[in-house]
Amino acid sequence: MPSFHFLYRPVLAGIVILCLFWAKASAGTAAPDPEPATGWQNKEAASAKRFMAVTAHPLATEAASVVLKKGGTAVDAAVTAQLVLNLVEPQSSGIGGGAFMLYWDAGNQTLLSFDGRETAPAAVESDYFKDAGGQIRKWRQARLGARAVGVPGTLHLLHTAHQQFGSQPWESLFTPAITLSRTGFSVSPRMAKSIKGAQEYLRRFEETREYFFTEQGDPLPAGHHLKNPAFADTLETIAKEGIAPFYEGVIGAKLIEALQGTSAMPALMTAQDLAEYRTLSRPPVCAGYHGNAVCGMGPPSSGALTVGQILRLVERFDIGSLGPGAESIHLILEASRLAFADRARYMADSDFVPVPVEGLLNADYLRARSQLIQPEASIGEALPGHPPGITTAQASMHQIEPAGTSHFSIVDSRGNIVSMTTTIESGFGSMLMTQGFVLNNEMTDFSFRASKEGRPVANRVEGGKRPRSSMAPTIVFNSGGAPVLVAGSPGGSRIICYVAQALIGVLDWEMNPQQAVSMPHFCNRNGATDLEPHHDAKTLETALTGLGHEVRIRDMNSGLHMIQLLPSGQLLGGADPRREGRILGE
C-alpha cells in the first residue's frame, strides 16, 4: 500500500477506501464563449505512454518535456518549468513568490507535500495593515510596494525537492531559462494583455517601468521580442552556487535593498528573515470520494480541506446520473457554500492557530452538514459548522483573493508525479522587480483585521506566519493506492471551485481531462453564484435563480492543467483553453 495520510496528522497514516470508481473518457460538453481577459484557445486532448507535462505556456512545457526525455524526474522537470514560467509568464509566478508541491514517489509508493508558501517578516505586528493615522488601508493600496511582499519560498521549495528527488544536475536545469533570457522570447498575447491591464501600477516603479514598456512608453505588445539579461545573471548565480546567494548572499541583499522607499509604510523584511526561511514538509490531506482518495495540501492551504469537504458533502447525491446540468450544479454550489463557511472561520497556518483538520473531514460531521443541502432550494448564506476538535472561538473573515497564479502537472517515465501550484499572488504581485524577477504581494492574503466582534481571526497577520491560501494541487488515488488523476489551477479563492468541478467532471461525469478543464465554470464562495459566460449560461441562470441563487455571469479566469493515468498505462492530458498552455508527452 502507498504511504500517505488520510487526514492531516501522521497518527492517521493509511487510508481505507471502499471501492474503485473508474471514469471513462467519453462525455462531451459545450465550450464557453471567449474569455476577454486572456482569450480562448481550443485545445485537443493529448495522450502519451511514458511521460507528460502540462504547463501554462508552450515554452515551459517544451523545456520540461526535454528534461523528461533525457530521463529527468518530475521534480527536475518542475524546476525547469518554473524558471521558464518566471520569464514568460512573470505576472503569475516566479522565484519572487511562493508555491505548494504535491509529490508522488512511485518507487517508495509515498505521497509528500512541500510547503513553499511565503512568510510574514518576523517584525510584523497586528497593526501591519493600518496607515499612519491608524486606519486600515484599502486593499489596492496595500498590495503595492514593499509592505505587500512576503519572504519568497518558491526557489527554496524547488531546491529542497530537487535535493531529495532530482536526478539531473541542478545547474543543467537552469539552461533553458537562461538561454531564453539572453536570446529573448516573443511576448505572448496573454502577457501583453496583462501588462496593458496593469500599466497604471507597473509605471510606478522604475524596474517594472523599464522592463514592461517600450522605449516610447507603451505597454509591450504581443510579439515583442523581449530579453531579460538581469534575470539571466540571477539564474546563472543560483545555478552555480545554489540558493545561498538568494537567501543569505548578494541576491538577497539586493532584494532587501529593492524594498526600501517603495511604500507609504517602511518595509519590515530583513536579511535574517530571508536566511531563516525554510521549506516545510507537511503531511498531505486526503478525503475519500466514491472509493478514491483525493489528496492535496493541508494548512496553510485551504485547498485540500475545502475541495475535500465539497466532494464529501455531495457524495450522497447521485451526481453522476444527474450529469452536468442545473440540478447537479445546484447541489455542488450548495456544498461549496457550506465548505467556504468553514474555510472562513477555521482555516489558516496551523503552526500558529489550531485548525481542526480531522474534524473538518469527519464523516459524521459532514454527513450532518450535507443534510442542510436541499435539492429544491438554496440555503442562502451558510453558517460555519462546529466540527469536532474546535479549541478556539474564532471569527469568520472573508477577504479579497485575486487570481495571479499558475499550475503545472507532470508525470515522469518512472511514474513519479508533481502537482505544483505557484504564485506571486495578484497579477504582477507587488509590482516590484529586482534582478529580473517580480516580487509577490502575498502579505495581502492575510486578514487585514486581527479580530472581529471580539474574537480572533484565524488568518490574522503574525510574524513568521504563512498566509492562508486556496491553492489546491491535487493527486487522486484509486482503491488500490494507484494515482489516477493529477490536477490544479490558478484562480484566487475560486481555485477550489475549479478543481472540485474538474474532478467531478472526470470521476462522475466520465469526461476526459480536456473536456473537464474546458467545462464552463460555476462557483459559490458562500455568497453570490458566479457563472462563466457560455451558450447555456442564461438558461442555467434562470434555473438557479428559481432555486434561490443570486447569480452573476462573469469572466472566470482559471488555468486548470490535468493528467489522467489510465489502467493501461496511457496518460491523458488536459490544458485549460483559457490560457496559453500546452501538453507534451511521449
Give 508-532 pLDDT, tens digit per residue: 999 999 999 999 999 999 999 999 9
Tell me the pLDDT band of 402, cut-offs 50, 70 and 90: low
**What pLDDT, on a 0 to 100 scale, did the predictor assign at position 34?**
28
Across residues 274-293, what is the average pLDDT? Answer: 97
**What pLDDT, on a 0 to 100 scale, did the predictor assign at position 401?**
60
Choice among 119, 405, 422, 444 that is catalytic? 405
Q: Give CB contacts under 8 A, 24+ apart, made by 359-363.
A: 359/387, 359/388, 359/389, 359/390, 360/305, 360/309, 360/387, 361/7, 361/285, 361/287, 361/305, 361/308, 361/309, 361/312, 362/387, 362/388, 363/312
**What pLDDT, on a 0 to 100 scale, did the predictor assign at position 23?**
29
As a whole number of angstroms, the distance between CA 426 and CA 142 comes to 12
As a whole number of angstroms, the distance between CA 147 and CA 142 comes to 7
- Give the chain's domains with CATH numbers: 304-370 (1.10.246.130)
Going by C-beta distance under 8 Å and a sequence separation of 6 or more, which residues neighbour residue 505? 29, 324, 511, 515, 516, 517, 519
Of the listed ranges 26-35, 42-51, 133-142, the least confidently predicted one is 26-35
Q: Give the relative orientation of helices 175-183 and 74-88 as an angle to the nearest 10 degrees.
A: 20
Q: Give the relative orientation of helices 229-241 and 250-259 as an angle to the nearest 10 degrees.
A: 140
Mean pLDDT of the chain: 91
Give 156-188 pLDDT, tens digit per residue: 999 999 999 999 999 999 999 999 999 999 999
**What pLDDT, on a 0 to 100 scale, did the predictor assign at position 157?**
98
**What pLDDT, on a 0 to 100 scale, did the predictor assign at position 453?**
81
Tell me the pLDDT band of 266, cut-offs 50, 70 and 90: confident
Residues in the chain: 586
Q: Please give the DSSP secondary-structure letter assigned to residue 219.
A: B
Tell me the pLDDT band of 37, cut-offs 50, 70 and 90: very low
Query: Is 405 part of the annotated catalytic residue set?
Result: yes
**What pLDDT, on a 0 to 100 scale, did the predictor assign at position 400?**
60
Whether residue 39 is predicted with pLDDT greater than 70 in this model: the reply is no
Whether residue 241 is predicted with pLDDT greater than 60 in this model: the reply is yes
The more confident residue out of 233 and 15 is 233
Whether residue 12 is predicted with pLDDT greater than 70 in this model: the reply is no
Of the listed ranges 19-28, 36-45, 143-152, 569-578, the least confidently predicted one is 19-28
Give 461-502 pLDDT, tens digit per residue: 999 999 999 999 999 999 999 999 999 999 999 999 999 999
**pTM (two decimals):** 0.92
As a whole number of angstroms, the distance between CA 71 and CA 413 comes to 7
